[in-house]
Amino acid sequence: VNQLKELIRRIDLPLHEHLQTHGVDYLQFSFRWMNNLLTREIPLPCTIRLWDTYLAESDGFAIFQLYVCAAFLLHWRERLMREKDF
């Protein structure tokens, strides 16, 4: 969770600061993402494909998962930046 927070801080400081300003704790959403490996966030065929990649990558569960979660946040960036009440 802390690695995701640091990664977002480095690659998108305005998004990170917006989340911090509005009291969003990364633990509120990323714990579920990390714990369930995104199985509740994406359709089953995508989950299978994602898990296949995790297994194919030497650091799949440690590193690749972190970057996938960061990509989720960046994908929703515009919507998150407009949000004021989390």
- pLDDT attached to residue 78: 98
**What pLDDT is recorded for position 86?**
87
**For each successive 10 residues of the chain (86 residues), what is the average pLDDT?**
97 98 95 92 95 86 90 97 94
Domain boundaries in the chain? Answer: 2-82
CA 73 to chain centre: 5
Record: fold of 2-82: Cyclin A; domain 1 (1.10.472)
Instruction: Tokens for 5, please give them.
Output: 């927070």
